[in-house]
Copies of this chain bind each other. A is one copy, B any other.
Amino acid sequence: MTVSTTLRQELVALHAELVRYDLVAWTAGNVSARVPGEDLFAIKPSGVSYDDLTAESIVVCDLDGKLVEGDLSPSSDTAAHAYVYRAMPEVGGVVHTHSRYATAWAARGEAIPCVLTAMADEFGGEIPVGPFALIGNDDIGKGIVATLAGHRSPAVLMRNHGVFSIGADARSAVKAAVMCEDVARTVHLARAGGPLVPIAAEDIDALYDRYQNVYGQRRRSRS
């Protein structure tokens, strides 16, 4: 196999995190990881339940999204993952979900304003909205990349669709997906009760800089 069992097992474990954090219903969500040193990425097969996902069932595609290894069809979102890996060489992991609070913002085409220190830490500002795009070509991938290119945020709300998140590795992208839903929920609840208190831009900058450089056990770890 061109892809190590370790990376395959990590992908299975990261899909289980999507389930644990209640980000996915049925089979609607997927995680991929760039294969180190290769123009390849590993991704969930299409329509397979999270319970049935095994290291062996993970499929491998080239950066055009073409199946290279595996018995099953790759995720129907494979083209979007592939486009991100082609366009953003610093990205090592991509996650897609329809997590509910974040997707609710997406159904209004509305960015999530940065009113929580945890948002400043992880997203460095608002979580932006990407364009409406149909599945089946590179439109979704282009929308993700065009939106995230101009933002600190590792997550984008694709209009009327759901969330794509990126990271230096698949685990960081899953963390961004989890935190995106968490803050989408808190800010939704906050605004439902009355006007929000903004955080000053310079405070957001200070929080983002500190979190990206100091938090955790190693420099620049985001997990």
Contacts and interface: CB of A to CB of B under 8 A. Distances in A.
Query: How often does this chain occur in the complex, in copies?
Result: 4
Q: Is the interface of A mostly helix, strand, loop or mixed?
A: loop
15 contacts: A26-B175, A46-B216, A48-B217, A76-B214, A100-B182, A100-B186, A104-B192, A107-B116, A107-B196, A108-B193, A108-B197, A132-B199, A136-B206, A136-B210, A191-B193
Interface of A: 21, 25-28, 45-49, 72-73, 76, 98, 100-101, 103-105, 107-110, 115-118, 132, 134-136, 159-162, 175, 178-179, 182, 185-197, 199, 203, 206-207, 210, 214-217, 221, 223
Contacts of A214: 76
A190 B190 CA distance: 14
